[in-house]
A and B are shown apart, each in its own frame.
Chain A
């Protein structure tokens, strides 16, 4: 039997049970919608969370910390010093390396505004290699100069209160002096010489620094930090040794694809590492589990729909028993009979699948709109871009999967009735009233 003839037979059979077809397909519509909406909720949440993770830093950056990697059987790492920096620079797929020392700055004062912020000591020259862009001004050139993150002028010094625009706030700070209050605790060396030093009050020092530049917007951490030279930070912290150790070293991979490989080598050496990419990978796995669980919940409706298809097909075969006998008498093989009924069941599945996809797409759009407006209303305009949070997201793979799955469910539901039809004794079928 040719495909076209099969299609004609199937369509003419389905056309004579329009109401039953519509009701059965409606069951599949509900089942498909349940699965698509549930899974799209998981996908949407994943998308939103992963997008917000972009704020953790560039996809090519790996933050390396010293100490124990957490992996059983691994040794404690070597110290994060200049030797480690040089070695990391020599590793395959590593583009740049930047050691960081957090200066013990208690607070920063500009005019009458005092605020807390992270002040990082970095090799200033390496900032460009790590993609930091200067929005205003230039990089620090000496130990009296400081570079501010994008959010510092507005958020930390609260210059917006003086009705300055962001640009004006930045420009106002360039060339101005701010005062860093540094707190120095006794160093390990001093405590070793005189244990009583540990009991001494920390020494507060004030350092005047000139703002020479403002960074362009980057990740959350960078935006709210300030940057000084590595030597300045070490001096603030009272570290005078010739081989200082760093808290962290940022390693920049040549591409996002090589991050995992570099991270693996470093953790095997006992370093503790993290990167936006590995966090995203870990989250992806978690969200796959969430999607499977949500999809399984939606599948319950699909199981009911499958039973509906099986019931419809069984009834249809019972009513058409005599016709099956006629078809067999004129030469239809068991396989051909099976194919006719399986195709009918699959088409019910496809119709329901397409309907379900249309319904769930519209439902997802409406739900997103509703939830986004709810959030906007509740946050009273505090959310900068209320339309960007996606709760339900239907990717192409989910749309294709929904239709293929619905067709498969239809096909599977039709297997038993179709086999029953195919195995009917032609004589018994012909005598059926």
Chain B
């Protein structure tokens, strides 16, 4: 298996007044292509910070994150935006869809910023929505969709640009168990097509159901890596 993401000695500190908080303390982690890695840990353990740094939404204080050969720590704002546009997809706990755009409009958004032609965007967004079982809800606004459907739209948006890795922060956190399981099934189906996922969760059942590997975080450090249900 080839490496999709290589996290080396990753450090992140926050300064709050005179207090320095070590949120990540030298994290080393390799994620391979086609793998689902779940990061588990209590609130404040640093799992979301890891996700944000790998996603180019936050910058590390030290160490390196190598994605497809490029170190995110050395990228300026423009290159990071380009990285988010092409190399990474996000799925958030609270879906984060734009309310004025339809399901297809939301899925098209990354392609709009990538400058794709309208016809190409429409066909790719439709295909992505069909792959999450929403081919019949293309023109519906987020408020007209259930929570599970909204999260499926978010998954379709995350995969539509063909990213190297999809980052999901508590993707089932706002959903009931049945709907959450449906989302996990979508993720597994995507993974079966070769997509790579880094997922944070505090729900052990989720991690065991969907991960090849489960990484346990406590106080900004990896304390254990175990095999997940897909291994």
Contacts and interface: CB of A to CB of B under 8 A. Distances in A.
Most buried by B among A328, A329, A426: A329
B224 interface: no
B81 A322 contact: no
A17 to B, nearest CB: 11
B118 interface: yes
Given A13-B100, A327-B109, A334 B78 contact: yes
A163 interface: no
Most buried by A among B84, B92, B97: B84
A333 B78 contact: yes
Most buried by A among B90, B110, B113, B118: B113
A9 B98 CA distance: 11
Contacts of B117: 2
Nearest to A5: B112
Contacts of B115: 1-2
Interface in A384-428: 426-427
Nearest to B112: A5
Counting contact residues on chain B (CB < 8 A from A), the size range is 20 to 34
B101 interface: yes
A333 B114 contact: no
A426 B85 contact: no
Given A1-B115, A430-B92, A329 B98 contact: no
B84 A330 contact: yes
Interface string B73-90: 000011001101110001
Interface stretch (B31-39, B51-59, B188-196): B51-59
B90 A329 contact: yes
B61 interface: no
Contacts of A5: 112, 118
B100 A330 contact: no
Nearest to B95: A326
B58 A427 contact: yes
A332 interface: yes
A329 B84 CA distance: 7
Contact of B52 (A322, A326, A330, A427): A427
B57 A12 contact: no
A326 B81 contact: no
B96 A327 contact: no
B98 A332 contact: no
Contacts of A2: 112, 115, 117-118
Most buried by B among A13, A326, A328, A334: A326
A4 interface: yes
Contacts of B55: 329
Contacts of A426: 57
A4 B118 contact: yes
Given A12-B101, A16-B100, A328 B81 contact: yes
Contacts of A335: 78
Contacts of B85: 330-333
Given A12-B101, A430-B96, A330 B78 contact: no
Contact of B81 (A4, A332, A427): A332
B200 interface: no
A336 interface: yes
B96 A331 contact: no
Contacts of A430: 57, 92, 96
A1 B112 contact: yes
A328 B98 CA distance: 12
A5 B114 CA distance: 11
Contacts of B100: 12-13, 16
Contact of B96 (A4, A16, A322, A334): A322
B161 interface: yes
B52 to A, nearest CB: 6
B86 A331 contact: yes
Contacts of B118: 2, 4-5
Interface in B126-169: 157, 161
A158 interface: no
A326 B55 CA distance: 13
Nearest to A326: B96
A133 interface: no
A415 to B, nearest CB: 18
B82 A331 contact: yes
B98 A427 contact: no
Most buried by B among A5, A322, A323: A5
Contact of B57 (A1, A334, A427): A427
List the 7 closest pairs (A to B, CB-CB), nearest first: A331-B85, A333-B81, A330-B110, A331-B84, A331-B113, A332-B113, A5-B112
29 contacts: A2-B115, A2-B117, A4-B118, A12-B101, A13-B100, A16-B100, A322-B96, A326-B109, A328-B57, A328-B84, A329-B84, A329-B96, A330-B90, A330-B110, A330-B113, A330-B157, A331-B82, A331-B114, A331-B161, A332-B85, A332-B113, A333-B77, A333-B81, A334-B77, A334-B78, A335-B78, A427-B57, A430-B57, A430-B96
